[in-house]
Structure 1
């Protein structure tokens, strides 16, 4: 067993250890809107559930030379839309990871279709089977010696679920076919599914 002190290694080396071991990671495709009305879209795999009462999700956005557009927009208007990445939209969504100026929309670059939200002002995209309109509950900036990050907790104020994956109040895992993030350029789809009964 190798023992590593994260304070004695670089931020990049710690990053590689994290993304190589905390797998698979769900991917949130997040849309936000700038003060000038530009719709920004970007994928993030530092993403998970926080609570079901009320329903909340977490999103951590790493800093590279300051705030990313998504983080800046969330701080400014306190709204965002989270989409689940699946096997049918992953190619287009991957294109939105390109570095664009804040004045250009990744949605347009990837030929994704904006769709109006019901509660928040930020549009979502039509190509996702799951879309969650979120309002910011809490934001926590993290510093450190490296670039740092910003953690956002959002309350889901509206779910939009494709009828093809929804039955009797549950999501059909295979029909959703969510894609997860691994390390490097690697992704994974849902493979073998097995059940283990939880102890009483």
Structure 2
């Protein structure tokens, strides 16, 4: 086994070890509104569940050029956002939204995604997602170089054809995950192991 001290690594070296090891990572496609009403959209793979009671999720958003990204700034200003689960049917469009656009340009428009009104928050979602969650900002933890944002889910939108008896069918959802570099993964073999009693 290699024994590596992260303090001896560059930021890029640590990034490569983390994103190569912590796989697969779910991808959140996040929509936000700027103060000027521009619909921003961006994908993030530093994303996960925090709690189910209340339902909360986390996003870690790294700075760009030493400043908070549009998504983080918009969330902190408006206190609301929409998270979409990226799947095989929309991953190409979502990938387009990673382009570095100016704050007055909409990645959602660039990618040809279709805005749809939300039920509770003022931020629109996109029609192409099979799962979207309207969120309000619960807490922001600021670190040098990034923000950790905790959002509370206030409304779920689930495509009817993937929803069965209170559960989401993982194969019908077809979620994709982020690996390292330009690599992604779909749902592969599904197996079951019973928990010990």
Q: TM-score range by the shorter chain?
A: over 0.9
Query: Equivalent residue for 1:188?
Result: 185
SS at match of 2:19: helix
Matches within 5 A, 1:129-168: 129-143=130-144, 148-168=145-165
2:176 maps to 1:179: yes
Q: Partners of 1:192 and 1:118 in 2: how far apart?
A: 36
Query: Equivalent residue for 1:116?
Result: 117
CA shift, 1:8, in A, is 1.1
Q: Partners of 1:87 and 1:187 in 2: how far apart?
A: 10
Per the normalisation by structure 2, the TM-score is 0.99
CA shift, 1:64, in A, is 1.7
Alignment coverage as a number of residue pairs: 196
Matches within 5 A, 1:87-106: 87-106=88-107
SS at match of 1:122: coil
Query: Equivalent residue for 2:83?
Result: 82
2:14 maps to 1:14: yes
Runs of at least 4 residues of structure 1 off by over 6 A?
none
CA shift, 1:94, in A, is 0.3
Q: Partners of 1:154 and 1:169 in 2: how far apart?
A: 22
**1:150-169 residue CA offsets vs partner (Å, 9 max, x unmatched):** 10000000000000100110
2:25 maps to 1:49: no
Per the normalisation by structure 1, the TM-score is 0.97
Q: Partners of 1:191 and 1:39 in 2: how far apart?
A: 33
SS at match of 2:108: helix
CA shift, 1:149, in A, is 1.1
Root-mean-square deviation (Å): 0.5
Q: More deviation in 2-11 or 102-111?
A: 2-11
